[in-house]
Amino acid sequence: MKVKLAQLIAGWLHQPLPETFNVDISDLFIDSRAVIPNSVFIAIVGATSDGRDYIQKALCQGAAVVLSQVDDKAQHGQIERRDGAVIIHFYGLKEALATLAQRCYRQLPRHIIGVTGTNGKSTVTHLLASLAELNHIPAAVMGTLGQGRPGELHGALNTTADIFSVYRILNQFALSGIELVAMEVSSHGLVQGRVAGVPFTGAVFTNLTRDHLDYHHTMQAYGEAKAQLMAMTTRGVQIINADDAFGQQLLERYPNAKSYALECQADWQASVIAMTESGCQIRVHHHDQQWPIEVPLLGQFNVSNLLAAIACLDELGLVSDASLGDCLALKAVPGRMELFCGRTQVVVDYAHTPDALAKALQGVRSHCSGKLICIFGCGGDRDRGKRPLMAQAAENYADQVIVTNDNPRSEDPSLIADDICQGFEHRQSVSIILDRRSAIQAALAQAQKQDMILVAGKGHEDYQIIGQQRLAYDERAVVAQLLAEASC
């Protein structure tokens, strides 16, 4: 799909664009490394770099047009030719990004559902798309795990991509017949305008717990960043977790929103009937109706995630009550409370905040008849304040703890471990084994058949960052291999 340059920038120049400059445009890019022929490079000043320094690189890669940020209003609209490309100087360029994206990528899926919150985003988006597909609605996800239809994801580096990548992917989905997209929306993405103007038809808020304070500095600022998604969807369906304290504040702000909860009174409620070795039997309540459902998901918090997805799709009119029995066909999200069975059961989860770790351990405990062993670490160059809090969560809910590496980055791994250990009151049940593979091997060596092991922090990731190196490390594959070796 192409658009004329004059259409892309209509209404912004002081005079008509000369026809010789009115080229066909196929794509917009904010990253010069991604530029392709016949595309537009948007050169803006970012938080860490100035895009104008990369104009020549973009031209070398085939950019047909460059829109370059200027700080002097008098320079706005000046046009020059360079290496066969059109360069337009643009005052207020940052404020125009959403409109540019909308004009370039005009066809979007009918339903776009944003999911925000500290924990649960990946699971809720995956469940939304999976349930939609079970109801014959072509659906896809965008987020930490990548983008694509459930089970067919392509990798992604950021939870929320840059604004043009977001629109481009949505446009590609629409052109391929996707009718519903469930998108993880991070606090960074909201604050930095990466989803500005996206026509969300639904929004889900899962929870707010400590994370990213190295960026937001205070929990209040972090919460307000998340709240921006609700402000963007006042004309759509809003689904908010009433069991969360900040969720209660949002429900007061947005009285038309629908609530869901396991503990509080809410529009949508669920109760756990039984925990099995491989899932949960629950009952969903909505008004005067109720439905028994069996799901192959571990942990009570995953019941909450499922309830959020069911409520959102129902309020959008996309699922029928009778279809809820299809939940048995759902699969665990890769690296999210994912169960690996062998001589001992091992659960791989992405939990990397104190609250997420506590809930993951509580979730595994409800399925465990023996000892619970927890393996976790903390990332380097990130919020140091949560490290002892992670230790407290592990000590409160696990019988034995092994502290290991996460992504130490530029920090000394042993010093990160020391920070973590400040949170333990009793060290006799704690070991430090910095190599993750060795830590898992040690846990398997001591575990009995009825015990369970939670390996937290890496989840779906297939790498580990140590120093300046990004090393190949797929925890799911490592666990599967070590369990197979232990069973031989």
162 annotated ligand binder: no
Phi, psi (deg, nearest 5) at residue 468: -95, 5
Residue 366 has a CB neighbour count (10 Å cut-off) of: 15
* Residue the block writes with tokens 């004329």: 4
User: In whole angstroms, what is the distance from residue 420 CA to residue 416 CA?
Assistant: 6
Q: Residue type for 483, please?
A: L
Backbone angles phi, psi at 325, to 5 degrees: -65, -15
The reply to whether 475 sits in an annotated binding site is no
Residue 123 in marked binding region: yes
How far apart are alpha carbons 445 and 447 in whole angstroms?
Answer: 6
Does residue 461 have a known ligand-binding role?
yes
409 is in an annotated binding site: yes
Tell me: is residue 279 an annotated ligand-binding position.
Answer: no
Measured between alpha carbons, how far is 396 from 358 in angstroms, rounded to an integer?
A: 8
Contact 275, 328 (CB under 8 A): no
User: How far, CA to CA in Å, does 463 sit from each of 186, 375, 458?
Assistant: 21, 17, 8
Q: Is 32 annotated as a binding residue?
A: yes
State the DSSP code for 16: P
457 a known binding residue?
yes
Any binding-site annotation on 68?
Answer: no
Nearest 10 degrees: Cα torsion 446, 450, 455, 459: 150
Instruction: Report whether 159 belongs to an annotated binding site.
Output: yes
Is residue 72 annotated as involved in ligand binding?
A: no
3-state secondary structure (DSSP) of residue 121: helix
Token code pair at residue 137 = 């609605």
Q: Are the C-beta atoms of residues 126 and 141 closer than 8 Å to each other?
A: yes
- Check the annotation: does 408 bind a ligand: yes
Q: In this structure, what DSSP letter does residue 32 have?
A: G
**Cα–Cα distance between 17 and 38 in angstroms, integer?**
18
Does 192 count as an annotated binding residue? yes
Buried (b) or exposed (e) across 373-412, using 16+ Cβ within 10 A?
bbbbbbbbebbbebbbbbbbbbbebbebbbbbbbbbbebe
Residue 158 assigned as binding residue: yes
Distance CA 376, CA 431 (A): 11
Residue type, 176: S
Residue 116 known to bind ligand: no
- The candidate with the shortest Cα–Cα distance to 461, out of 360, 355, 297, 350, is 350
Query: 89-95 long-range contacts, Cβ below 8 Å, gap at least 24?
Result: 90/12, 93/42, 93/44, 93/67, 93/68, 93/69, 94/44, 94/69, 94/193
Please state, in angstroms and rounded to a whole number, the distance separating the CA atoms of residues 96 and 98: 6
Annotated binding site: 32, 117-123, 158-160, 186, 192, 194, 382, 406-409, 457, 461
Question: Which residue ranges make up the annotated binding site for meso-2,6-diaminopimelate?
Answer: 382, 406-409, 457, 461
Residue numbering of the annotated binding site for ATP? 117-123
